[in-house]
Structure 1
Amino acid sequence: MYNGRTDSVEHVSYFNQKMAVHSKNEALMCKVFPSSLGPVAMRWFDGLRAGSIDSFKELTQAFGSRFITCSRVPRPLVSLLSLSMREGGTLKTYSDRYWEMFNEIDGDFDDVAISTFKFGLPAEHNLRKSLTGKLVISICQLMDRIDKYKRVEDD
């Protein structure tokens, strides 16, 4: 259900996925779309003038225009550079914050992500030394290495 506060583009994308087998049936798509709307969005939908929408594309464009302020804006890559492990912080806390930020960035920046994660660690951290000595070439390898060091930290 769209609550009027989340990303409208993501909502339409999710709706399209749920209705994929019916995507060629414009009338059905238009009739079913309101069932995915919560009270705020439903008031908007009910306020549309009869006959003002001629296609599902027009409906989703009008929906997106109305709820544009809720659209998620991807974070810039430079956001990763501002993250570092806080003094006295744990590897788990740092990696959780890092991956949350990483997931908000659009694009394929795995090599930059690996470097910025490493440089966000204190110079004396064992994981940073490990990443400097034995390079990782993928995000999966980096995550595996982080998990190993988090287990050591937990013990």
Structure 2
Amino acid sequence: MPVFILFDGIIDPIDYVYHIQLKMALNMENDSLMCKCFPTSLARPTFNWFKNLPRGSVDSFQSLCDRFISQYYGNKRPTKDISSLFTMKQHEDERLQAFLTRFNLTKSIVIECHPSTVVQAFKLAMNRVSTEEKYRAKIRQKQVQPQRQTSWKAEKRPREEELITPLKVTLARLYPENKDKFRSPLPIRQHLEQRNQSKHCAFHSNFGH
């Protein structure tokens, strides 16, 4: 027994009959079996409609489908023409996958829709979004640019020499008083015979510079 989507009285009745036919494709020639399986796919209160059919009023699966579609014809999805695709537009915050799903849903109820026309309509919808986004980007850039110029003039960056505190004494005098605050320096890499013996470095405790 195939598993059916239960009909709840909201689905398009024509689509639902097509769903039943697909599920029962191997038994389409067995008319009585099709008629007996059909009510098992009906949920309440739609099952009550079937139960209240006059006895003997259904003589074939086709007549059962005709009665069913007639009863729930108000749920039929309205068909649209190709112009409905050309008026579609992707929303600014709509992802591409979500727009593609919405586009395909509209396409499914369009009658006589040629594939090349569908592709053209989809490209126009995307191009429209791209053009509008570029236009909005230019508008935002014009609005932001004057603010940047104003803020640049209002806030002047200090020069490098203004960030340095000038020393009033020499480094040679400062170091002996603060040498305990420094880490031990690396040794001078230059060979001793190549160094200037007339110069002594208090920081390295050695000759050379």
Calculate the TM-score normalised by the size of structure 2: 0.52
Q: Which has the higher strand share?
A: 2
Q: 1:61 aligns with which of 62, 66, 71?
A: 66
Shift of 1:45: 0.4
Asked whether the equivalents of residues 85 and 120 of structure 1 are also in contact (C-alpha less than 8 Å), the reply is yes
Secondary structure, aligned partner of 1:61: helix
Give the letter aligned to residue 30 of structure 2. N
2:24 corresponds in structure 1 to 19
- The alpha-carbon distance between structure 1 residues 19 and 123, as it changes in their structure 2 partners (threshold 3 A), is closer
- The alpha-carbon distance between structure 1 residues 110 and 54, as it changes in their structure 2 partners (threshold 3 A), is same
Work out the CA distance in 2 between the residues paired with 1:113 and 1:68: 28
Work out the CA distance in 2 between the residues paired with 1:86 and 1:31: 47
More deviation, 84-93/7-16: 84-93
Asked whether the equivalents of residues 85 and 122 of structure 1 are also in contact (C-alpha less than 8 Å), the reply is no
More deviation, 30-39/82-91: 82-91
Which structure 1 residue ranges, 5 or more long, are not aligned? 127-155
Give the letter aligned to residue 62 of structure 2. K
1:108 corresponds in structure 2 to 113
Which structure 2 residue ranges, 5 or more long, are not aligned? 1-5, 132-209
Work out the CA distance in 1 between the residues paired with 2:19 and 2:101: 26
Aligned ranges for residues 34-113 of structure 1 at < 5 Å?
34-87=39-92, 91-113=96-118
Asked whether the equivalents of residues 7 and 42 of structure 2 are also in contact (C-alpha less than 8 Å), the reply is yes
Give the letter aligned to residue 116 of structure 1. A
Q: Deviations over 1:90-116 (max 9, x none)?
A: 545544433332233233322222222
Asked whether the equivalents of residues 92 and 129 of structure 2 are also in contact (C-alpha less than 8 Å), the reply is no
Aligned length: 126
Asked whether the equivalents of residues 26 and 56 of structure 1 are also in contact (C-alpha less than 8 Å), the reply is yes
Q: Deviations over 1:97-149 (max 9, x none)?
A: 333322332333222222222222346938xxxxxxxxxxxxxxxxxxxxxxx
Give the letter aligned to residue 67 of structure 1. Y
Give the RMSD, CA atoms, in angstroms: 2.4
- The alpha-carbon distance between structure 1 residues 13 and 96, as it changes in their structure 2 partners (threshold 3 A), is closer
Shift of 1:84: 2.4
Asked whether the equivalents of residues 80 and 101 of structure 1 are also in contact (C-alpha less than 8 Å), the reply is yes
1:139 corresponds in structure 2 to none
Q: Which has the higher helix share?
A: 1
Give the letter aligned to residue 78 of structure 2. V
Work out the CA distance in 2 between the residues paired with 1:48 and 1:124: 53
